[in-house]
Amino acid sequence: MRQSPTKVESDPTFRPRKRFGQHFLVDRRYVERILDALDPRPDDRIVEIGPGLGALTKPLLDRVGHVTVIEIDRDLAASLAAEFPPERVDLRIADALSFDFGTLGSRLRVLGNLPYNISSPLLFHLARFQASLRDLTLMLQKEVVQRMGAAPGTPEYGRLSVMLQVRFRIQRLFVVPPGAFRPPPKVESAVARLTPLGPGAPPIADDALFARVVAAAFGQRRKTMRNALKALATESELEAQGIDPGARGETLAVDDFVRLANALAVREPR
């Protein structure tokens, strides 16, 4: 059955704001595909980032009892508040980049069409709350999804790959064409699912140090590990962990970064 549009979705006066990177999903076929991929249950704790015009929110409420939505655009938030009753939609007017997802409880199922201009920082932010997450079902620029799940030794493999793969299992589900959005972006999008590794995640002795090691290794991709990490590790420390000082960061597996960072975390101060 065809769903009626929300008030904001049918409002011809609303114009997407470039500063928020707004590209609204309007193709009902892809709305249904995303919700089918999420496969929500009535009691799931769903958190939608950037509900925008409510294209996902309204059909989602046909499947679950309650949704928390995080919207930074106050005009859109006002329209959503007028459209949906507060007992069904918990509206948080906030920037998802600084929002404390830990305040929403546990086993959160996060859904969202992430703005392309903040997708990587937002993914790093969400990763901080992995203990509170059940899964993430996110639509992003297709190239970002390729980087998220890239293997060592490929051009797409980098800091984002390592920092997410150490915490999540990543699946690319399907591609969404530009024509599914208003206004259409200049690139293709893709929907991905990120599932926390939980007890299977490699233990990290010092999260901040691990992040520094990974960032340094990919700061300048053509630098060898010897040069990229000279402020953090000696050649002998690299070799002790089975890492060739002449190798580049893109050739190291996630486990290599974990092993090195953990060894550096417990060494005697230099």
Q: What is the pLDDT of residues 20-53, one digit of tens each?
A: 445 789 999 999 999 999 999 999 999 999 998 8
Q: Same domain for 108 and 240? A: no
3-state secondary structure of 123: helix
> Position 6: which residue type?
T
* 180 located within any domain: yes
Q: What is the pLDDT of residues 69-79, one digit of tens each?
A: 999 999 999 99
* 5 located within any domain: no
Is residue 193 pLDDT above 50, yes or no?
yes
* 13 located within any domain: no
Q: Which residues contact 86 (CB under 8 A, 6 or more apart)?
A: none
Q: Same domain for 187 and 240? A: no
Q: Same domain for 78 and 104? A: yes
Is residue 231 pLDDT above 50, yes or no?
yes
Q: Same domain for 104 and 173? A: yes
* 85 located within any domain: yes
Q: What is the pTM of this model?
A: 0.89
- If one counts the domains in the chain, the total is 2
Query: What's the confidence (pLDDT) of residue 7?
Result: 43
Residues 149-174, mean pLDDT to the nearest whole number:
97
Is residue 268 pLDDT above 60, yes or no?
no
Q: Same domain for 155 and 231? A: no
The mean pLDDT of the chain is: 91
Q: Which range marks the domain in which residue 69 is found? A: 18-199
Is residue 4 pLDDT above 60, yes or no?
no
Give the separation between CA 195 and CA 40, rounded to whole angstroms: 15
Is residue 92 pLDDT above 70, yes or no?
yes
3-state secondary structure of 213: helix
Q: Same domain for 191 and 246? A: no
Q: Which residues contact 212 (CB under 8 A, 6 or more apart)?
A: 232
Cβ(249)–Cβ(258) below 8 Å: no
Q: Which residues contact 143 (CB under 8 A, 6 or more apart)?
A: 156, 187
Q: Same domain for 127 and 69? A: yes
Q: What is the DSSP string of 27-93?
A: -HHHHHHHHHHH---TT-EEEEE--TTTTTHHHHTTT-S-EEEEE--HHHHHHHHHHS-TTTEEEEE
Residues 165-178, mean pLDDT to the nearest whole number:
97
Domain boundary (158, 173, 199) is at: 199
Q: Same domain for 131 and 187? A: yes
> Position 212: which residue type?
R
16: confidence class by pLDDT, cuts 50, 70, 90: very low
Residues 154-173, mean pLDDT to the nearest whole number:
97
Query: What's the confidence (pLDDT) of residue 53?
Result: 86
Query: What's the confidence (pLDDT) of residue 270?
Result: 58
Query: What's the confidence (pLDDT) of residue 116?
Result: 83
Q: Same domain for 131 and 211? A: no
CB atoms within 10 A of CB 52: 29
230: domain CATH number is 1.10.8.100
Q: Same domain for 139 and 39? A: yes
Residues 128-137, mean pLDDT to the nearest whole number:
96
* 10 located within any domain: no
Give the separation between CA 20 and CA 115, rounded to whole angstroms: 7
* 146 located within any domain: yes
Is residue 86 pLDDT above 80, yes or no?
yes
